Amino acid sequence: MLLPIRFSSTGPAGWQQLPNQALEHGELIEGRPMGLDHAYFSHGDAPVKSGIWRCEPYTERYESYPADEFMVVLEGEVTLEAEGFCETYTQGDSFLVPKGFRGTWRQPVPMLKFYVIVG
């Protein structure tokens, strides 16, 4: 039986105490994306994944973002830059990065977010 899933802004029990790991990234410009991802939900039939993600500061570039991703910033900030575009998202902001986005992800401080990825 499928039931609603509660997301905790601190992750599942014990998650915050787990050590950081190297995370996937685009073309790395600065720093090293070290953090942790916990998928509260994923569905193989439809490429959907949602969860909580944390990461230390870093900067990366994407030639083509691999999926549509909706995010809610719980802590920290990120600035997305593209030709003619520059916007910073901070705690409480929600935004979507569309599949194919070409630009830069600048994360100057540690960040914690909820996400939903549709691939």
Q: What is the pLDDT of residues 74-93, one digit of tens each?
A: 999 999 999 999 999 999 99
CA distance 119 to 117: 6
Which has the closest alpha carbon to 117: 34, 51, 44, 72? 51
SS3 at position 16? helix
The confidence score (pLDDT) of residue 75 equals 98
Query: Does the pTM exceed 0.85?
Result: yes
Residue 1 confidence (pLDDT) above 80: no
62 contacts 27 by C-beta, under 8 angstroms: yes
Percent with pLDDT over 70 in the chain: 100
